[in-house]
Amino acid sequence: MISLRELFRSSSQATHRTLESTFLAVVAIVLGIRFPVKFWLSPPFLMDFHVYHFAANLIATGQGHALYREAYSTGVLYMYAPTWAVLWAPLALFSIHHGAVVWSFVSVGWLVATLWCANRLAEAAGLRVPPWASILTVLLLFRILTEEFGNGQADLWWGGLTTYFVFCELRGRSWLAATSLALSMALKLPSAIFLPYLLLTGRWRTAVRTGACFLVLVTLGALVAAPQHPGSILADWGRCLLATGPPSMFRIGDQSFTALLARLLTADGHGLNVLSLNRITVTIVALIAEAGLFSLIILPRTRPPRSAAAWVTDAALLMILMALASPSCWLATYSVLLFPLVLAISLLATKFSSIRRDPWSGLFAGLAGLCSILTHSKFWKAAGLVSWRGETYVFLVFMMAPLLALNLWAFLRRQRRLG
């Protein structure tokens, strides 16, 4: 017979799941009205989506060979693997307006699915996930998500695929995991940061499967896009990455870790620097620092690397680092923080008493929350700071997004060290 305790526990779990589903539905409804429904009523200009739609039309009309040679506007090129142009080819069936609405609806669904996976991963790490964690996560990232949806970008796909990889790897779904990470890498290469981690922590089979899937997916994409010259289109992709990635660094919109160091270490005109190094030196310093952060994920450890808690926490740390280390990192790139934030919120809910007693954990968590608030221009205007050195996007000047990510990283790393 079922004991009263087991019955109560089962009832409590069912109630928790119902509340979680309700909050996820609220997220879907609010974001659905805020973006796709609004876009349906008032045709938007989604700059990045225009690129995807343009690439889809090239594939649909048999002009895939020109994927990296033509742009829908001066200087605006398609930069992803040909695989994704093929996968997005159905977008050519829609007008640019209707396609933007469909894209936004799918992105909302993808975001909700990512949050669901993040909740399950936090539970697998032995944490209590508050049913409202999804809503708080979206609120903390709302300015970033507004940028994501407002430009029709693909960072939610990137972060969602990486989160699903972590989920599938934990569940033992080896090939699904490998395919998810390979697709993520084909979309944005920095998620390949998982490969050396997998090799160094004994998950070499996953690394090999992922590498094999990546090669197959990229090759098939090139064959479909340009059946006569698949090698040529892959070479074009490589040249496009080299031509568009590094040159975008150090612009005001760049929110990478390298750009953060440049703000502090170069005379960039914003007056926040403590040194005046050249950009090459800063780039080298950033690479060394990023390697240091990666090494702190590998060592030292308090749990075996194959335990669920270690895997989930390390994956969250790696996802934060893959955004920070991106050579072309914009505000919307930090949409990948959905899973790390759910994990951090769950840690706070589960271990609040011990976290409160640890000043470093409290400091990092508090600073991450403050940086989230300071990504909104209204708070700067309320403080009387409308512009800084002629730049009205003050939160970009003060690099609030990378500071949010760094404090979140430090909080999760601190919690992993404390066990």
**76, β-bridge pairs:** 73
Confidence band (pLDDT; 50, 70, 90) for 326? very high
Q: DSSP H helical segments within 125-154, as ranges?
A: 133-140, 142-151
- Position 242 scores a pLDDT of 83
pLDDT at 11: 63
| pLDDT confidence of residue 114 | 98
C-alpha–C-alpha distance, residues 386 and 55, integer Å:
38
> What is the reported pTM?
0.95
- Model confidence at 73: pLDDT above 90: no
Summarised one tens digit per residue, pLDDT across range 138-152 is 999 999 999 999 999
pLDDT digits over 212-260, tens only? 999 999 999 999 999 999 999 999 999 888 876 655 667 888 999 999 9
What pLDDT sits at residue 111? 98
Whether 175 has a pLDDT exceeding 70, the answer reads: yes
C-alpha distance across the termini of the chain, in Å: 37
Residue 120: pLDDT over 70: yes
pLDDT band at 74 (very low <50, low <70, confident <90, very high): low
Q: What's the pLDDT score for residue 77?
A: 84
Q: What is the chain's length?
A: 419
pLDDT at residue 299, rounded to an integer: 84
Q: How far is CA 366 from the centre of its chain?
A: 21
Quick one: pLDDT band at residue 348, thresholds 50, 70, 90?
A: very high
